[in-house]
């Protein structure tokens, strides 16, 4: 069962190796309590070694197996990949971008965004990206995002939200602040719950999300996305290790079952 759980975790990591902002999972296991072995006579009479006062002296311990303790997420920084798409955002440091979903506010590291028909910045699933004042509304080729996450637009073209601004005519001579990306973090990120679509939600153990500010705020890189932090080579090596361990355990059980069958046959003959 342990090896099966490890294999499921590794397979999920490999399946998401190319998912933007994905954070790999690691399975952690714990042993059942060990049992003490004591030496006794075959007929139930205790053997007392010379000078011993222990009626049943301990001769060692025996393990009782292992079980899955938890599967937690490793929030290491993934490599940044340049896309030259102005709608893509990557965070360099600890924190999460906030998005508005049907189930409420959620948090993501997947900054592969686009603009919907109403001019709102959204995820690939249609969830609106949140600024500190609400959903962010933009115009193509009329916005820039600085490293603090502040969104600026050219005030000259801000009047008509449906007018497409060409890159050639935009000289950025009248900058106007639109909003600042809502970037948050929690006290204990390892207890965030994965909800699918690259989203996390807070739990009682993780604590509530708080907006980051000052030096705690990660740098925002416009035109970049964060790759997953899964090392495919390492995961493949671990998968081979798991398969070999599974086969070894399987052969051990088969051998024990075969020996037990032979023993029972002998007992029946007697």
Q: Alpha-carbon distance 158 to 228, whole Å?
A: 36
Inside any domain, residue 194 = yes
H-run or E-run covering 59? strand 58-62
H-run or E-run covering 150? strand 150-154
Inside any domain, residue 183 = yes
Residue 166, domain extent: 80-226
In sequence order, which residues have a C-beta less than 8 Å from that of residue 83 and are 6 or more positions away?
Answer: 112, 223, 224, 225
**Residue 269: per-residue pLDDT:** 78
Q: What is the DSSP string of 29-94?
A: EEEPPPEEEE---TTSPPP--TT---SS-EEEEE---EEEEEEEE--PPPPEEE---TT-EEEESS
Q: Counting every residue, how long is the chain? A: 270
Inside any domain, residue 246 = no
**Number of Cβ atoms within 10 Å of the Cβ of 19:** 15
**Residue 1: per-residue pLDDT:** 85
pLDDT in tens, the chain (270 residues): 888 889 999 999 999 999 999 999 998 888 877 777 776 655 555 555 565 555 666 677 777 778 888 888 999 999 999 998 889 999 999 999 999 999 999 999 999 999 888 889 999 999 999 999 999 988 777 888 999 999 988 887 777 666 677 767 777 777 888 899 999 999 999 899 988 888 999 999 999 999 999 889 999 999 999 999 999 999 999 999 999 988 998 898 899 888 988 888 888 876
Q: Alpha-carbon distance 109 to 189, whole Å?
A: 13
Q: Alpha-carbon distance 211 to 204, whole Å?
A: 18
Inside any domain, residue 136 = yes
Supply angle C-alpha 125, 131, 132, rounded to 5.
145
Inside any domain, residue 124 = yes
What is the tally of structural domains in the chain?
A: 1
Angle between helices 2-15 and 232-269 (to 10 degrees): 160
The conformation of residue 4, written as its DSSP 8-state character, comes to H
* 219 and 147 Cβ atoms separated by less than 8 Å: yes
| Residue found under tokens 């996450």 | 149
Alpha-carbon radius of gyration of the chain: 29
What is the Cα 156 distance to its own chain's centre? 43
Q: What is the pTM of this model?
A: 0.77
What is the Cα 34 distance to its own chain's centre? 32
Nearest to 106 by CA among 136, 78, 128: 128
Inside any domain, residue 51 = no
């Amino acid at each position: 069962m342990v090896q099966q759980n490890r294999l499921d975790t590794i397979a999920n990591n490999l399946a998401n190796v190319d998912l933007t902002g994905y954070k790999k999972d690691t399975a952690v296991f714990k042993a059942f309590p060990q049992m003490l072995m004591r030496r006794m006579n075959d007929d139930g009479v205790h053997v007392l070694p010379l000078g011993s006062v222990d009626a049943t002296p301990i001769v060692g311990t025996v393990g009782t197996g292992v079980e899955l303790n938890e599967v937690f997420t490793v929030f290491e920084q993934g490599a940044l990949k340049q896309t030259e798409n102005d709608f893509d955002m990557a965070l360099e440091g600890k924190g999460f971008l906030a998005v508005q979903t049907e189930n409420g506010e959620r948090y993501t590291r997947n900054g592969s965004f686009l603009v919907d028909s109403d001019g709102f910045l959204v995820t690939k699933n249609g969830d609106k990206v949140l600024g500190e004042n609400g959903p962010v509304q933009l115009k193509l080729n009329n916005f820039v995002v600085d490293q603090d996450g502040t969104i600026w637009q050219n005030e000259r073209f801000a009047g008509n939200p449906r007018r497409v601004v060409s890159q050639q005519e935009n000289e950025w001579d009248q900058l106007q602040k639109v909003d600042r990306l809502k970037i948050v973090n929690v006290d204990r990120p390892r207890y965030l719950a994965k909800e699918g679509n690259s989203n996390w939600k807070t739990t009682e153990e993780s604590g509530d999300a708080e907006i980051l500010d000052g030096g705690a705020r990660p740098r925002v890189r416009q035109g970049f996305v964060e790759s997953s932090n899964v090392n495919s080579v390492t995961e493949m090596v671990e998968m081979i290790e798991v398969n070999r361990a599974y086969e070894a355990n399987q052969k051990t059980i088969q051998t024990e079952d075969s020996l037990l069958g032979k023993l029972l046959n002998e007992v029946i003959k007697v």
